[in-house]
Chains A and B, each alone.
Chain A
């Protein structure tokens, strides 16, 4: 066989792909999504707490948030996943048994929280101080102002970056294979790798790669779409009212109010 055909066979063996496809879609895809989405949700909650702590006036909140972010952003994801997954395994054993899955999600969430926290913090800090002043002037407390006015606006502004983080999570979820998952818990990468290891053919792994792309490429377009929409505003609602120059007298109706 000539080298080109060998290469073709190694990566694009249709039979090998066909064999791996059902398990890829019924086991790998759901597990990848469960890992990524759970970690995104938990990571976003933790990230929001980190963001709020990071802009707090209290150094006892600011400093731990800073240190946490530096540590979890600074470590390789693989190291964190192993440290958490293996290190906390005895604890996990007592709480939910030998299943490494929750620890995988926890590790991914802790990593994601560090990044998402920074994303949220930059968004929240980009909201003009005048918004806080406007809210406080109405009588809202600082906490209510943050919750109702500042944080919703800040998060909206960084949604594209947040979706990028979701893309990173989908890819990083492949790393939990370190933790030794049982057959039904394997995500896309692990299933591809298992097929590749048993057959010596990389086609199943390439199929796994295609599955990742099928998830991540549309998401990058979602990022672009959100980005455009945030920049240009939502499509204008049709307004038929022509009341621009019609300013009824406040005094005229004042009697009714008092």
Chain B
């Protein structure tokens, strides 16, 4: 298989700035994620967390700053090719409702990776099995529960063998009882050595799984460090206040 040798890479975000008109959403964001590490990004809504993720895979082009994979800037690369290296999972899953679960996963394999129908299906079924959904391959995406849909979305992103995975509040739209299953898949992926940036409100997940926790506020990473430092010995008043509110 042509895609089986991919491994994760390091990710560096350097001084990224972005403004929508007069609204300066990102004001010099720095974030370093070593190869195989997981960074959880926490912070109040409107702090720029989701926008940051979108500048990493260039769904939104930053005004200034740099994004590096494996030490090399990706801002000059073809954005479509870059996005095949950087998988992304969204809060609302963004599955394609007019296709079966299986076809959601095979579409990019066939059209972008140019795999044959059989090979794409083999890869997709294996990926669905890894997230515990082998039996749902022929369902429509709206039929599985929200938690299953999100696991399909994760399988769809992983099928392309990304080198980095971005999670944008992947469990925020789920009913509480479904959150655990999705977080479990994410924790396993982290343990397996995927480089991940996880925007989340799940502080328990951040504490247990993250190598680095970055607190974003008003468009900058105000404080970053290992989970115990962030959760037990926060330096900034704003971070302490945020943690008081969410914990």
A contact residues vs B (CB 8 Å cutoff): 130-131, 133-141, 144, 148-149, 152-153, 156, 233-234, 236-237, 239, 241-254, 257-258
Contact = CB atoms under 8 A, between A and B. Distances in A.
B192 interface: yes
Interface residues of B, number: 52
B94 interface: yes
Given A137-B83, A233-B142, A241-B136, A247 B156 contact: no
A216 to B, nearest CB: 28
Interface of B: 4-5, 7, 57, 59, 80-84, 87-88, 90, 92-98, 107-108, 111-112, 129-136, 138-140, 142-143, 145, 148, 151, 153, 156-157, 160, 181, 184-185, 188-189, 191-193
A161 B82 CA distance: 39
A72 to B, nearest CB: 30
A246 to B, nearest CB: 6
B131 A247 contact: yes
11 contacts: A134-B90, A138-B83, A140-B108, A152-B98, A234-B140, A239-B136, A243-B134, A247-B185, A250-B192, A251-B192, A258-B7
Given A134-B93, A134-B153, 4 more contacts: A130-B90, A133-B94, A139-B83, A250-B192
Given A131-B94, A134-B90, A136-B83, A239 B139 contact: yes
Contacts of A233: 140, 142
B97 A243 contact: no
A247 B132 contact: yes
B12 to A, nearest CB: 20
B188 A250 contact: yes
B94 A134 contact: yes
B115 to A, nearest CB: 14
A237 B57 contact: no
A258 B132 CA distance: 20
Contacts of B98: 152-153, 156
A153 B136 contact: no
B112 A257 contact: no
Given A152-B98, A243-B135, A139 B107 contact: no
A251 B191 contact: yes
Q: Which of A131, A140, A250, A251 gathers the greatest number of chain B CB atoms within 10 Å?
A: A250
B84 A244 contact: no
A244 B83 contact: no
Given A134-B90, A239-B139, A149 B96 contact: yes
B195 to A, nearest CB: 14
A246 B84 contact: no
Nearest to B148: A244
B88 A137 contact: yes
A114 B132 CA distance: 48
Given A237-B139, A251-B188, A138 B156 contact: yes
A137 B59 contact: yes
A21 B157 CA distance: 61
Nearest to A132: B94
A153 B97 contact: yes
B130 to A, nearest CB: 5
A134 B95 contact: yes
A139 B181 contact: no
Given A148-B107, A234-B140, A254-B193, A248 B130 contact: yes
Contact of A138 (B84, B140, B181): B84
Contacts of A239: 135-136, 139, 143
Contacts of B151: 247
Among all A-B residue pairs, the 4 with the closest Cβ atoms? A241-B135, A134-B94, A250-B188, A139-B84
A258 B135 contact: no
A246 B160 contact: no
B208 to A, nearest CB: 14
Contacts of A251: 188-189, 191-192
Nearest to A144: B111
